[in-house]
Amino acid sequence: MSLPEADADRVVGIHTIADKPAAIAKAHCIIVGGGNTFSLLCRCQEEGLLAPIRAAVASGAKYVGWSAGANLACPTIKTTNDMPIEAPAGLEA
């Protein structure tokens, strides 16, 4: 995730930030990498990140995702080819 402060060229890992939803709201670019789609969705659900990501993108933040990160940008993860190694609260992303 890239924040719009003075060090705007710096990428900050969301895992290093205590108030993740607030950081997402301030981000001008959200970058989500790959991995297991089910695990990524579980973590995002547990951390309450889906709604803040949607709101940030709707407000103009850029979203870049590849593999599981691209799947997360879809309405659901029903078409992923990953093995369901975890059970998210639902398949809606």
- CATH number of the domain at 92, please: 3.40.50.880
Range of the domain at 76: 1-93
Q: 9: pLDDT confidence band, cut at 50, 70 and 90?
A: low
> Based on the structure, what is the number of domains in the chain?
1
For the entire predicted model, the pTM comes to 0.81
Cβ–Cβ under 8 Å, residues 71 and 37:
yes
Which residues sit opposite 2 in a β-bridge? 11, 29
Q: Does the structure show a pLDDT above 60 at 4?
A: no
Convert the pLDDT of each residue in 27-47 to its tens digit. 999 999 999 999 999 999 999
pLDDT reported for residue 7: 55
Q: Does the structure show a pLDDT above 60 at 3?
A: no
Phi-psi region of 35 (alpha: psi -120 to 50; beta: other; left: phi over 0): left
Neighbours of 90 (CB within 10 A): 10
